[in-house]
Amino acid sequence: MARLLQEISPLYLALPDGPELEVRPLEKRDQERVQKAYSMLSRESRMNRFWQKPVELSQARASSLTDSANGKHIAWAAFSPDNDALPGYAGASFWRDEKESSRAELTFTVADAWHRSGFATMLFSILYHEGWWMGVRQFHGVARLANTAMASWWESMGGTVKETSRQYEMVLDLESPSQFIEKVGFEMPPSSRRVETAEWLMEWAGRLEVG
């Protein structure tokens, strides 16, 4: 029986009131897609994700974002299954720490037109599942002080957010997907994003049983 979602990818699904999606790990063949998607981001979104303003993403950066062969970097993206002209709706990845592989830096990129549509939470649930079974026990990240939406997202997921003079520093400890699902069922009041994550985790568990 498959344990990782990458073993049964691509995943075909739809977000509530959203488009049909093909969700899968990024591959080397996606470098041009990644560069095109980056060029379509607003200046604010480029700063929030990449901390830089250039309109074009370098070939070297695009190559690193699509390289997950060594297991240190895991990246997934949501694409249109019917329209190759669209570079993608959203992507997310984690980068395992060099000295402590049980920790990983979590990052997201969502096309401006699709902010607050559930892409980040859906992709997070995939990285949560994959990360747990690969030995990751803590996600961490940083965000610009202007990116209050990201800080709020981490807090809604149960993470801790520390505001420094230059950035937000965020940490989220992981528990097994089954423990996460069980705990969310007893939370009062429940966080809508944690409920969504639990629902996706149950979806992935069901697909893996079939796979």
The DSSP symbol for 180 reads H
3-class SS of residue 14: strand
What class, spelled out in words, does domain 5-210 have in CATH? alpha beta
3-class SS of residue 46: helix
- Read off the pLDDT of residues 56-107 as tens digits, 9 standing for 90 and up: 777 887 888 888 767 889 999 999 998 887 889 999 999 999 999 999 999 9
- E strand intervals along 132-180: 138-144, 160-163, 167-173
Average pLDDT over residues 139-145: 93
Q: Give yes or no for a contact between 105 and 135, defined as CB atoms under 8 angstroms apart.
A: no
Shortest CA distance to 131 belongs to which of 196, 175, 163, 161?
A: 175
- Count, residues in the chain: 211
Element (H, E) at 205: helix 192-210
pLDDT at residue 197 in the model: 97
- Read off the pLDDT of residues 8-21 as tens digits, 9 standing for 90 and up: 999 999 988 788 99
pLDDT at residue 69 in the model: 67
Element (H, E) at 38: helix 31-39
End-to-end CA distance of the chain: 7
pTM for this prediction: 0.93
**Residue 42 C-alpha from the chain's centroid:** 19
Rounded Cα distance between 109 and 52, Å, is: 14
pLDDT at residue 39 in the model: 83
- The DSSP string of 67-126 is --TTSSEEEEEEE-SS-TTS--SEEEEEEE-SS-TTEEEEEEEE-GGGTTSSHHHHHHHH
Instruction: Say what percent of the chain tops pLDDT 70.
Output: 95
Residue type at position 53: K
Residue 3 has pLDDT above 70, yes or no: yes
